[in-house]
């Protein structure tokens, strides 16, 4: 319809609109425009969550969502203005052009708001649909897009409304997770099908809008709903149809329509689109549905379970979605580590429970910053929680003729495995003394030439200029020191264990040797093997106790790994 005279813009229709505006969602918007914005934002508790998981493990947390009363202030919103710009729409176009800044100012308080602009005419005009401005937060660009509207063209009364809706849905760069509102205003119904042959049907346009979760607010300036199209499309998309709009009031109508579209909602959920593939997530319930409004604060409770799938460091948001649009965001930070399957004992024919030990690791050094081995202080702590107190003037003579301070059990009793578990070597005697020589690991007292095993699969490297040992110093020539990087954050470290010629040849060729769990990698050169485990790095701070962490694999002799404390008190001088 192209004649202004043929439009029904009477004052009576304007009165009808204002009467309608005082009911339902429009009343909500009207009151909002007269009152301050609600200072509280929709939110989720906890706002952030961090944890570390191993592959295959899960953690479940509760997330409490609050949708606050009043108008949202933290929503992510895309507003698209779609205008009929045929010849009879000059008055409405001018009003929106003049009031665009006011519309954007009134709606910017919703949160993160962006806008887009499009227009449609009819077949036979210079264009049928045109995108004047894609979604942007730059208001000057939005104004320029609206200023491009020029009333003209058209032929018969119906226009290409349906085609314009379809194109706006499919060619606009809607932001992920946004609440999408399309303001459609015109004065004539649509051809069906509409647009270039074969045309777009109402059903196709509606499906496209629903697929993009676009809420259509249809503003009728004359005969937009002559065939019921505007009502059907608005209802199908969860929007609203407004009747009898006058060009002089259209700016206020648009402002209130956008704001009132948030007055009610029916679905609250947590978005998982940003969860990386290294994690699996399940949310219970998947969503909460009902007939809700923003007259009061409303609480929604969810249970979120993260399952670690593959190693990595993951930082990602989980948005609160209300009817598909983001209203708040929670940040998760999850570190996923490879599972520690366990370590086989590095010496054949021995177990963690019967191998003779000449020196044990003092876990109290791990509590010092920086860690200083060989400067243990007056008290040491064994992995089973027992304390040893330094006995001044009492020294321990080690097998190499070196003297170290002696430590006595604080309780005056013997150091034993927890609850008496484990097997004490035959060459050890029960006593109150702890053998310790500033040790960052374990010294297993075994005959020279004892085979040494790879505790788990990994890459075996020589300690030297390319791979410095910051804990013990020296290099392969000095200590015959090597280590296995198990490629999961864990390292096995060996000293006094020259490697096999075949292993050395692989390292010479490739820089490392690929070894498998239980493979013989070398033999002891002295009367003991010094062994350490390090985690997530190789500095002092990364040395850990395999007994304390329960890393030893079970054996036929000992079906379950157990902690123990084995001491060599046989060479202690008398008190």
* pLDDT tens, position by position, 426-484: 233 345 555 555 568 888 888 899 999 999 989 999 999 999 998 888 899 999 999 99
- Determine whether 296 is exposed, middle or buried from the number of CB atoms within 10 Å of its CB (0-12, 13-18, 19+): exposed
pTM: 0.60
Q: Which residues pair with 129 in a beta bridge?
A: 120
Give me the CATH number covering residue 233.
3.40.50.410
Distances in whole angstroms, Cα of residue 516 to Cα of each of 341, 343, 457, 562: 13, 11, 4, 24
Would 254 be classed as within a structural domain?
Answer: yes
pLDDT for position 30: 39
Q: Is the dihedral of CA 244, 248, 251, 255 positive or negative?
A: negative
* Mean pLDDT, the chain, whole residue set: 82
Would 350 be classed as within a structural domain?
Answer: no
Within this chain, do residues 85 and 97 fall inside the same structural domain, yes or no? yes
Q: Last residue of a domain, which of 261, 286, 308?
A: 261
Would 183 be classed as within a structural domain?
Answer: yes
Would 79 be classed as within a structural domain?
Answer: yes
Within this chain, do residues 384 and 504 fall inside the same structural domain, yes or no? yes
Within this chain, do residues 426 and 391 fall inside the same structural domain, yes or no? yes
Residue 10 has pLDDT above 60, yes or no: no
When divided into structural domains, the chain yields a total of 3
Place of tokens 């045309």: 199
Would 550 be classed as within a structural domain?
Answer: no
Give me the CATH number covering residue 63.
2.60.40.10
DSSP conformational letter for 471: T
Parent domain of 330: 40-69+264-338
Within this chain, do residues 209 and 299 fall inside the same structural domain, yes or no? no
Within this chain, do residues 57 and 103 fall inside the same structural domain, yes or no? no
Within this chain, do residues 192 and 53 fall inside the same structural domain, yes or no? no
Q: In 3D, which of 270, 351, 339, 266 has the Cα closest to residue 305? A: 270
* pLDDT tens, position by position, 491-541: 999 999 999 999 999 999 999 999 999 999 999 998 889 999 998 888 877
Helix (H, G, I), strand (E, B) or coil at 329: strand
* pLDDT tens, position by position, 16-27: 333 333 334 443
Q: In 3D, which of 487, 563, 2, 69 has the Cα closest to residue 293? A: 69
- Cβ–Cβ < 8 Å for 283, 302: yes
Tokens of 87: 């010849």
Strands of 435-525, DSSP E: 442-445, 451-453, 458-462, 482-485, 490-495, 513-515, 520-523
Would 302 be classed as within a structural domain?
Answer: yes
Within this chain, do residues 254 and 125 fall inside the same structural domain, yes or no? yes
Q: Last residue of a domain, which of 261, 277, 298?
A: 261
Would 561 be classed as within a structural domain?
Answer: no
* Segment 123-130 mean pLDDT: 96
> For residues 143 and 116, what is the distance between their CA atoms, to the nearest angstrom?
10
Count of other CB atoms within 10 angstroms of residue 427: 10
Within this chain, do residues 237 and 365 fall inside the same structural domain, yes or no? no
Within this chain, do residues 56 and 80 fall inside the same structural domain, yes or no? no
Within this chain, do residues 107 and 226 fall inside the same structural domain, yes or no? yes
Q: In 3D, which of 316, 338, 318, 342 has the Cα closest to residue 328? A: 318
Within this chain, do residues 132 and 196 fall inside the same structural domain, yes or no? yes
Would 411 be classed as within a structural domain?
Answer: yes
pLDDT for position 340: 61
* pLDDT tens, position by position, 210-269: 999 999 999 999 999 999 999 999 999 999 999 999 999 999 999 999 999 999 999 999
Within this chain, do residues 321 and 390 fall inside the same structural domain, yes or no? no
């Amino acid at each position: 319809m192209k004649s202004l005279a043929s439009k029904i813009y009477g004052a009576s229709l304007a009165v009808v609109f204002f009467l309608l505006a005082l009911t339902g969602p429009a009343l909500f918007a009207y009151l909002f425009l007269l009152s301050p914005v609600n200072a509280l934002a929709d939110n989720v508790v906890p706002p952030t969550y961090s944890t570390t998981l191993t592959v295959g493990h899960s953690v479940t947390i509760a997330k409490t969502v609050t949708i606050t009363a009043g108008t949202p202030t933290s929503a992510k919103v895309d507003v698209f203005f779609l205008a009929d710009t045929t010849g009879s729409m000059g008055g409405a176009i001018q009003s929106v052009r003049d009031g665009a800044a006011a519309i954007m100012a009134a709606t910017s308080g919703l949160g993160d708001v962006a806008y887009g602009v499009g227009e449609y005419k009819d077949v036979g005009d210079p264009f049928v649909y045109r995108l004047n401005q894609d979604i942007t937060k730059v208001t000057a660009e939005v104004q320029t897009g609206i200023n491009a509207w020029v009333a003209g063209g058209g032929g018969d009364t119906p226009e290409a409304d349906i085609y314009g809706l379809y194109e706006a849905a499919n060619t606009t760069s809607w932001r992920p997770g946004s609440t999408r509102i399309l303001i459609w205003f015109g004065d004539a119904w649509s051809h069906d099908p509409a647009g270039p042959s074969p045309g777009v049907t109402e059903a196709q346009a509606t499906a496209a809008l629903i697929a993009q979760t676009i809420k259509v607010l249809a503003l009728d300036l004359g005969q937009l709903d002559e065939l019921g199209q505007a009502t059907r499309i608005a209802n199908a998309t969860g929007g609203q149809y407004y009747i009898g709009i006058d060009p002089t009031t259209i700016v206020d109508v648009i402002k209130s329509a956008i704001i009132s579209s948030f007055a009610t909602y029916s679905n609250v959920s947590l978005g998982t689109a940003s969860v990386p593939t290294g994690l699996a997530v399940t949310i219970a319930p998947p969503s909460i549905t009902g007939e809700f409004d923003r007259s009061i604060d409303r609480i929604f409770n969810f249970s979120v379970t993260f399952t670690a799938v593959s190693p990595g460091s993951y930082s990602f948001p989980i948005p609160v979605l209300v009817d598909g649009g983001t209203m708040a965001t929670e940040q998760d930070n999850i570190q996923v580590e490879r599972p520690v399957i366990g370590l086989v004992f590095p010496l054949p024919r021995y177990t963690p429970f019967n191998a003779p030990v000449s020196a044990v690791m003092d876990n109290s050094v791990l509590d010092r910053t920086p860690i200083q081995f060989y400067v243990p202080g007056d008290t040491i702590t064994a992995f089973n929680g027992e304390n040893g107190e330094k006995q001044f003037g009492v020294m321990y003579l080690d097998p190499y003729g070196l003297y170290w301070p002696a430590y006595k059990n604080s309780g005056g009793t013997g150091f034993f495995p927890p609850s008496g578990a484990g097997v004490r070597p035959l060459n050890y005697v029960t006593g109150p003394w702890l053998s310790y020589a500033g040790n960052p690991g374990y010294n297993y007292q075994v005959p020279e030439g004892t085979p040494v095993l790879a505790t788990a699969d990994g890459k075996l490297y020589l300690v030297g200029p390319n791979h410095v040992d910051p804990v013990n110093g020296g290099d392969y020539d000095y200590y015959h020191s090597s280590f296995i990087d198990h490629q999961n954050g864990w390292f096995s470290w060996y000293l006094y264990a020259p490697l096999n010629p075949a292993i050395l040849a692989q390292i010479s060729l490739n820089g490392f040797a690929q070894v498998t769990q239980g493979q013989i990698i070398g033999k002891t050169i002295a009367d003991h093997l010094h062994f350490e485990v390090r985690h997530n790095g190789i500095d002092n701070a990364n040395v850990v106790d395999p007994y304390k962490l329960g890393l030893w694999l079970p054996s036929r002799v000992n079906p379950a790994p157990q902690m123990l404390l084995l001491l060599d008190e046989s060479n202690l001088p008398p008190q």
